[in-house]
Structure formats: structure tokens, C-alpha cells
Amino acid sequence: MEVVVYCINSFTYNNQGGNPAGVVLNADNLTNLQMQNIAKHVGYSETAFVKSDPHCDFNVQFFTPNHEVDFCGHATLATFSLLHAKEIISTQQYSQQTKAGKLNVTVENDGSITMEQTLPKYLGVIASNEVADVLNIERELFKSTCLPCEIISTGLADIIVPVPLGSLDSIKPNFDAISALSEKYNAVGLHVFEVPHLPNNITATCRNFAPLFGIPEESATGSACGALACYFAKHNITPERNYKFNQGLSMNSPSIIIAKVREQVISNGTEITQVEVSGKAQCFDIKTITL
């Protein structure tokens, strides 16, 4: 049996950069083992498999080269960009069933994709020394942000890590130690960010390390940027609730991820009622895999 895999760059900037994802359409007859083998063969951080579902528009499963994951932002963007390019869907809202839940995805007139993520779960704070050591950053310098390292999930649990300005590019990650830390706290990996003194429309610059799932580093992480948006709102780092993150600069694959949260007033403050992440994608290759 031959399986066609579309190769899509997600969260591109001016049609450049982005994070590659594989997308397989009409995957109803594939087993989990076959999907895992395809994802391993493709070798991207995630490959999405699109199936039919009687209760929503699409059912989508996501596989890294060595694990199935509940949700993937950049592979979701890749999937719906491809469906739109092939005129399977038009510019409107659709629902996708994922293992993180049923989520809405909107195709915009300009071809950008806006995906809903699950409401944030705040899963705890990690001692800064633990995180500083796995990133090989001096402990006292690491603490100078005065912000916590916090586990947040908007579909996948990520450890959100603030670092001082000027530290991001010089990080020398210990991948074995990051894997051990991620496993200890039941997280996918570390989403590390710094906030520029002069934002120039960029809220933060990010790097993402998920070696536990076979992803040493990736150039755009939609799910983690959704969690990062919730972190920014929770700690009121900026007054706005619309965020523009860039990622992939260290990999020579610059990416732009737009994130937005909506809040409502409650008795003791505010709570987030919606999380959305947006971006654009572009197909760059088609592969045929024989099972």
C-alpha cells in the first residue's frame, strides 16, 4: 500500500521559514502502528493523520517520530491549510476531534488558519535551579527574570521558561537532562522565551526543546505558544492579550506565531475563556511511502 504524505511548512514568515509537518489525508484505514511508522519515516517533529468522524468535520491524530501526542498546533495549521489549498474546505469554521478534545479551526480569507486550543491548565511551578542546570545557564543570572518556570497545558503540557534578555541564543541544552526533567514532570518539553527591550511588534522570541519525544529543537510550536500566551496573561507581562511570537531564529527557519486569549472578570480577578493561535502555511513537497 502506498501512502501520500504532504510536507507543509507551518507558521511561515513571508512564505519563508516555518516548521515542517507531514499530513496524510484519508487515513481511516491506517492502524496506529502504521501511522507511527509513517511518522518515523517522514522524520518531522509531527505528522498529522486526517480521518472522518460522525460527530465533527474531521478527526486528526498526531505522531512524533516515536510517540503519539494528543495535539499539535503546527500540524493542525498544516492540515487545514492543505485542506483549503485542495479546495476540500472553504473559508469558514470547522471542528476537529483530537485526543485533547474537540476544537474549532477557522480558515480566514487571507489563507491564515486560526485554531482554538483547550483552556489552560496550570500544573505547577518548577524550581529555577532545576531548569537553569539543564539549559547550562548560571543560576543567579537565570533567576534575574523574577518570573517562575511553570507547567501549562492548552492541549499539551509544556514547561514555560523565562530567560534573561541575551541568554536565549547562547543556550547549550543538555538533551538527556531535558528529557529526564520532562519525564519527571509529565511534560512534553521546555518552551523557553525572552522578552526584548524594544518589542518592534514581537512580544517574545522563543526556542522549544522536546527531546523526550524525539524533537531536539523545533522552529515553531503552536501548542506551546498557546500556553505561553496564557502565561503572559496570568502574570500580566504585557497589558495586551494579543501576542506575536517568533521562533526558529537559531535554526535559520524564522517563524511567526500569533496567539490571543480572551478573559472574563470573576470575583477574584479574571479567568481565560478562550485561547487561539494563528499562522500561515505552505506546501513544499509530496512524498510517497510504501507500507
Residues 127 and 88 in one domain: no
Which helix (H) or strand (E) segment holds residue 189: the answer is strand 189-194
Residues 103 and 151 grouped into a single domain? no
For residue 160, how far is the Cα from the chain centroid?
12
In the numeric block, which cell numbers belong to residue 108?
480566514
Which CATH number fits the domain that encloses residue 61? 3.10.310.10
Q: Which domain holds residue 230?
A: 121-279
End-to-end CA distance of the chain: 5
Q: Which position among 2, 46, 183, 194 bears the catalytic label?
A: 46
In a shared domain, residues 107 and 134: no
Residues 242 and 261 in one domain: yes
**Pairing of the two strands 113-117 and 68-69:** unpaired
Count the helix, strand and coil residues of the chain and give each as a percent rounded to the nearest 5. 25, 40, 35
DSSP states along 218-245: ES--HHHHHHHHHHHHHTTSSS-SEEEE
Catalytic annotation on 46? yes
Q: How many domains does the chain have?
A: 2
* In a shared domain, residues 136 and 261: yes
Total-model pTM = 0.93
With beta carbons less than 8 A apart as the criterion, state whether 244 and 273 touch: no
Q: Do residues 73 and 214 both lie within one domain? A: no
How far apart CA 57 and CA 144 sit, in angstroms, is 47
Do 127 and 257 sit in the same domain of this protein?
yes
| Cα torsion angle, 285, 110, 95, 220, sign | positive
Question: Do 40 and 159 sit in the same domain of this protein?
Answer: no
C-alpha closest to that of 116 among 131, 105, 127, 124: 105
Q: What is the pLDDT along the chain (291 residues), one digit of tens a residue?
A: 899 999 999 999 988 999 999 999 999 999 999 999 999 999 999 999 999 999 999 999 999 999 999 999 999 999 999 999 999 999 999 999 999 999 999 999 888 999 999 999 999 999 999 999 999 999 999 999 999 999 999 999 999 999 999 999 999 999 999 999 999 999 999 999 999 876 578 999 999 999 999 999 999 999 999 999 999 999 999 988 999 999 999 999 999 999 999 999 888 888 999 999 999 999 999 999 998
189/212 Cα distance (integer angstroms): 7
